[in-house]
Structure 1
Amino acid sequence: MELEVRHLRALCAIADAGSLHRAARRLGVAQPTLSTQLSRIEQALGGPLFVRERTGCRPTPLGRTVLGRARPLLADMSTLVREARAAATGGDSRLRVGSTASRALAGWLRRLRRPGLEPSLQMDVSANALLRRVADGQLDVAFVHEVEGCPLHVPEGLRLRVLVEREPQFVMLPADHPAAARSVVRLADLAEDRWMVDPTVDGEWDGVHRMLRAVGLDPRVLHGDYHTAASLVATGEVVTVCQPSSQSRPDMAVRRLYGDPLGVRLLLAARTRTEVDAVYPALEEAYWEVARQSTAYREWLEHTGARTAVPCRPGAVPEEDRAVCAPVR
């Protein structure tokens, strides 16, 4: 049996998913088919690549060696295909952008677009999934957020650059909520409210739960996505955490939380430093443009006098990849 690109993709999918069942679902094949394929690959390579356990699969030492070679090969193959297609279409190229939700996306994509370069966009609520796609060569860059206290699983070899070291998370509540009359809301003011959280967002439920538990709150929680949360906030059903760049509307208010109890780190990831540096300025400009458009966030920035709530953490990202924390412009 000769190994093919599809076999390497299968191995990476199993490693990333942590189980044959989840990997098969991502690859769009039946689990028995993937299991048979894995057995044939292991037979061809001369040993087991994964240890099968009740909780899933984990790479063996041989598996880690193979995966370490497979990932860059897949990335190189993806680059080759993309460059070949660009040459075949007269030089037009696509920049494959991945991102978690952000109001800065529209401005970022607009700034990236130029003759001969057309950015495409792939959204995902999972920052970890986007980082894996960058590592596997399925995306060129990804803009993701890391919830405080819930570190992302960054694949080996990715280059990271911090856009914002700690972006405070605000709260979105009905416009007629008593707490909306104040510019800063205490969590105790929301003790009787139901909260909505998106459990599919990496780290969000853990972060919100930890924030509420720290002040002794154990509210009723509904699960839903951002759009559902906004519609339920508008009708007075729930409150929810939100990005500080969110804007108030006649039926809902965006307010700062007292003490800024929850934050996220905003990161840009790519396989090379060159790719990161090529798209970072456009992202930075787009982000601070929408930041200034939000009254609540603009007031917070003016109050703190800085773009970030805390200094850059030494060692969190390689020194040469760390964005400079500077006063807001």
Structure 2
Amino acid sequence: MRCADVYAPVVELDVRHLRVLCAIADTGSLRKAALQLGMTQPSLTTQLHRIERAIGGTLFTREQTGSRPTALGHSVLSRARPVITEMAALVAAARQEARDTTGPGRQRRLRIGSVGSRAVAAWLRRVHERLPDTDTTIHVDVSASALLRMVAADQLDVAFVYECEGFPLRVPPDAEHRVLMAREPQFVALAAGHPAAARPVVHLSDLAEDTWMVDPTADHEYAAMRRVFSEAGLNPRVVQVRDNATAAELVASGEAVRPCQPTSLPGPGTVVRPVHGDPLAVRLLFTWRPRVLSQPALDALYGELRAAYLDLAKVNPAYLAWLARHEPVLLERVQAF
């Protein structure tokens, strides 16, 4: 270690520093970012240099067209944005909590948590229609474990989560749950020009030479995928990509394939196909804290979630065909709606 390193001041990064980085990336210019943040450009430049020294690398390159994130910058930004979002949500929730606690005529409140799903928006719409006088909020997180911890900590009243097959979730001891789908198959998204895209059902062996993608923040997704490949005697390359927009571009360009929900719609230049034998699967759970909501209220929330989920199945021919083979009773419910 160099002597200078011993005495170098350590800059502790906080949310303000993260906001600086995001402002520079969003505006593409130190000048514009300084205006947005109410700072002078020299002050912002000094701040950026301190942040880069603390991290140990260059985060932006200065070009004639503005400032652009380096590879390290993109990596830091991908982690900074969720922190800022969570902090904003924390402050908003705390302020709402204060209003609810001290304000006159407290309104009924329902705090819903969910993993990412196309069913969430329709579920919320149904809940709003059923409970128009209830202040309903939604917290979406890719981590089912994080949502369950929030249920246990009285930060959420109910949560919609999934559990990777072979990797049970640690449901809090005082929480209860109901199964929405005992085994939901995971389909695969691949480029429309992929040789396997022309087949109605693909085999894992068809994709053995492809690079697969997983979200590193999704509970056990990587481990579950590796277990399935190992059992099939395959060893494809697996990369971890957190950003959905980047993942979609990689699939469309043919650089990678990735598992997806059977209710997913294909993006531009991609197709979604079932996988033969359904080797990748999850269990869908509706969880809640006991004694918070009445049984009729829980039944209604679960019923609206199921209806929202089945509405998606109705418009997905591949998933409807799968349900006809594997869940005929559930399919009857789909057709009844």
Q: Report TM bin, short chain.
A: 0.5 to 0.7
CA contact (8 A) 1:99 1:144 kept: yes
**Change in CA separation of 1:95 and 1:236 when aligned onto 2, cut-off 3 Å:** same
Deviations along 1:42-82, whole A, 9 cap, x unmatched? xxxxxxxxxxxxxxxxxxxxxxxxxxxxxxxxxxxx9xx96
Structure 2 residue aligned with 1:118, among 132, 135, 140?
135
CA contact (8 A) 1:95 1:120 kept: yes
Structure 2 residue aligned with 1:252, among 270, 293, 297?
270
CA contact (8 A) 1:301 1:328 kept: no
Q: Report the counterpart of residue 240 of structure 1 in structure 2.
A: 258
Please give the alpha-carbon distance, in whole angstroms, between the structure 1 residues aligned to 2:309 and 2:152.
24
Identity %: 49
Determine helix, strand or coil for the equivalent of 1:213. Answer: helix
Please list, as runs of the form range in 1=range in 2, the aligned pairs for 1:75-90 lying within 5 A after superposition.
85=100, 88=103, 90=105
CA contact (8 A) 2:110 2:134 kept: yes
Query: Which moves more between the two structures, 220-229 or 102-111?
Result: 220-229
Please give the alpha-carbon distance, in whole angstroms, between the structure 2 residues aligned to 1:83 and 1:139.
16
> CA offset at residue 254 of structure 1?
0.4
Please give the alpha-carbon distance, in whole angstroms, between the structure 1 residues aligned to 2:136 and 2:215.
28
CA contact (8 A) 2:212 2:236 kept: yes
Q: In the alignment, is residue 153 of structure 1 matched against residue 175 of structure 2?
A: no
Please list, as runs of the form range in 1=range in 2, the aligned pairs for 1:255-266 lying within 5 A after superposition.
255-266=273-284
Tell me which stretches of 4 or more aligned residues in structure 1 moved more than 6 Å. 81-84
> CA offset at residue 257 of structure 1?
0.2
Please list, as runs of the form range in 1=range in 2, the aligned pairs for 1:261-300 lying within 5 A after superposition.
261-272=279-290, 274=295, 276-300=298-322
> CA offset at residue 235 of structure 1?
1.4
CA contact (8 A) 1:196 1:222 kept: yes
> CA offset at residue 231 of structure 1?
2.0
Deviations along 1:114-170, whole A, 9 cap, x unmatched? 321132111111111111111110011110000000000111110101111100011
> CA offset at residue 230 of structure 1?
1.8
Between Structure 1 and Structure 2, which shows a larger proportion of helix residues? 2
CA contact (8 A) 1:163 1:266 kept: yes
Please give the alpha-carbon distance, in whole angstroms, between the structure 2 residues aligned to 1:307 and 1:85.
43
Q: Report the counterpart of residue 7 of structure 2 in structure 1.
A: none
Please give the alpha-carbon distance, in whole angstroms, between the structure 2 residues aligned to 1:127 and 1:168.
17
Please give the alpha-carbon distance, in whole angstroms, between the structure 1 residues aligned to 2:101 and 2:199.
54
Query: Which moves more between the two structures, 296-305 or 217-226?
Result: 296-305
Give the letter for the 2:269 counterpart.
D
Q: Report the counterpart of residue 165 of structure 1 in structure 2.
A: 182
Give the letter for the 1:119 counterpart.
T
**Change in CA separation of 1:302 and 1:89 when aligned onto 2, cut-off 3 Å:** farther
**Which has more radius of gyration?**
2
Q: In the alignment, is residue 137 of structure 1 matched against residue 137 of structure 2?
A: no
Q: In the alignment, is residue 304 of structure 1 matched against residue 326 of structure 2?
A: yes
Determine helix, strand or coil for the equivalent of 2:274. Answer: strand
| Number of residue pairs aligned between Structure 1 and Structure 2 | 234
**Change in CA separation of 1:140 and 1:162 when aligned onto 2, cut-off 3 Å:** same
| Gap regions ≥5 residues in structure 1 | 1-77, 309-324
